[in-house]
Chains A and B, each alone.
Chain A
Amino acid sequence: MDLPHHGYRATKQRGRTAAPTDSVLFDDTSSAAPAMNNQAYYTPGYNMGGTSNDMQGGPGANNLFTDPMANAAMMYGSSLANQGKDMVNKEISRFMSVNKLKYFFAVDTRYVLKKLMILMFPYTHQDWEVRYHRDTPLTPRQDVNAPDLYIPTMAFITYILLAGMALGIQKRFSPEVLGLCASTALVWIIIEVLVMLLSLYLLTVHSDLSTFDLIAYSGYKYVGMIFTVLCGLLFGSDGYFVALAWSSCALMFFIVRSLKMKILPSLSSDSMGMGSSAKPQLRLYITVATAVFQPIIIYWLTSHLVR
């Protein structure tokens, strides 16, 4: 945001006057930058930059006002940028609500560390309930059981990089392979989320699992995958299988305990003695099937990396 603005001004300046005004403007950038970073929007930052430049000294103020054309052009450019930004935001918010997405990225270090611990060793974690605060779920910062999208995203990217490294060790690397690995993993996530959504719809499970929740729970397996691949690279084939067994068990336990809270208890609210003996079994099957799918996909996506 700052760069095109000041680059434009700098080129205009070099076109007409000598160097000292350039240095004044670049000093303005560094002193105005902290103030600009505190703002989240284009226009207030721009105005603040403008006013602090005015206060910096005579040359700066003169160069702003002695060229109304440049001034008008910059105003027009910034209003165009604002329009573009608003249009993009409107289009995106038609498909997914950005506020819901922000909820999933509201994490901090303590949460990430605790969650990684739980993913690798879930057997000592006692309380698996997602806590609510007046009907809205708590953000991941305040509740360690809440799903987030930060860990899956980072784990996915790390997995792709690790796959590239593993293929390079086996001297089978080329940049196309990296893209292929990334799209394969992405396709498997999409397939898994679609199958989960379809089965939840068909069984009329009225849970509060949104699409992003399912993406989050599908993405947690990448942490196990990274651990498995690392052990396979460090300790050879035996280490790979031991790590595969360990992370599969941990991940299956984690998924069953997490999804059990979300899928199964909604049964007790709307059974009303309807004799739905088939239903709890089917919901249990879904949960267990999701859990069993995880080790299969971990093995499928990592075995070719560790020969």
Chain B
Amino acid sequence: MAFTLYSLIQAAILCVNAVAVLHEERFLSKIGWGVDQSVGGFGDEPGIKVQLMNLIRSVRTVMRVPLIAVNSVCIVLLLLFG
């Protein structure tokens, strides 16, 4: 399995796209992973599920706009160079 750095970038873009596509109220709340279900437990250990939900929410918030740019660049590169 030979990787180039470009295939790593493509894999990373695909993964981040997948996380960004998860809709808050249509999907995550339905399966109990919404932001309103992550509060509580002011103890010291938040737990894996809460950490994961926080991670998903922060990735979606932070990467919304840069993903537009990165996806456009990727599409143009794929159209030009195959």
We find that the number of chain A residues with CB closer than 8 angstroms to chain B is 18
Those of A263-307 within 8 Å (CB) of chain B = 270, 272, 274, 276, 279, 300
The docked-state distance in angstroms from the alpha carbon of A237 to that of B52 is 45
By the criterion CB–CB under 8 Å, are A276 and B8 in contact?
no
With beta carbons under 8 angstroms apart, the residue of B2, B44, B46, B52 that contacts A180 is: B2
- Cβ-closest chain B residue relative to A282: B48
- B65: CB under 8 A from chain A? no
Beta-carbon contacts under 8 Å, B40-71 to A: 43-46, 48, 51-52, 55
B18 contacts partner chain A, Cβ-Cβ < 8 Å: no
A39 at the interface (CB under 8 A from B): no
- Per the CB 8 Å criterion, the residue count for chain B at the interface is 15
Contact A274-B45, Cβ < 8 Å, known A201-B51, A204-B51: yes
Cross-chain contact B45 with A276 (CB below 8 angstroms):
yes
Closest chain-B Cβ to A206's Cβ sits at a distance in Å of 9
CB-CB under 8 A from A190, the residues of chain B are 8
Contact between chains at A274 and B44 (CB < 8 Å) = yes
Is A24 an interface residue when CB atoms closer than 8 A count as contact? no
Q: How far is the CA of A272 from the CA of B7 in the complex (A)?
A: 45
Residues of B within 8 A of A300 (CB): 1
| Distance of A203 Cα from B52 Cα, bound (Å) | 10
For window 213-260 of A, CB contacts with B under 8 Å fall at: none
- Given A204-B45, A279-B45 in contact, is the A184-B3 Cβ separation under 8 Å? yes
B48 touches A202 (CB 8 A): yes
**Shortest beta-carbon distance from A156 to chain B in Å:** 15
Q: What separation, in Å, do the CA atoms of A188 and B1 have in the docked complex?
A: 11
B5 contacts A186, C-beta separation under 8 Å: yes
Known A-B contacts A201-B51, A201-B55, A204-B51; A184 and B2 likewise in contact (beta carbons under 8 Å): yes
A275 CB to nearest B CB, Å? 10
- A180 lies within 8 A of B51 (CB): no
Determine if A89 is an interface residue (Cβ-Cβ < 8 Å): no
Do B4 and A202 touch (CB < 8 A)? no
B71 to chain A, nearest CB (A): 20
Interface contact A187-B45, CB-CB below 8 Å: no
Per a CB cutoff under 8 Å, which of B3, B44, B45 touches A183? Answer: B3
Residue of A nearest to B44 (CB): A270
**Neighbouring A residues of B2 by C-beta, 8 Å:** 180, 184
8 CB-based A-B contacts, threshold 8 Å: A180-B2, A180-B4, A187-B5, A202-B51, A202-B52, A203-B48, A272-B44, A274-B45
Q: Which residues of A contact B (CB under 8 A)?
A: 180, 183-184, 186-188, 190-191, 201-204, 270, 272, 274, 276, 279, 300
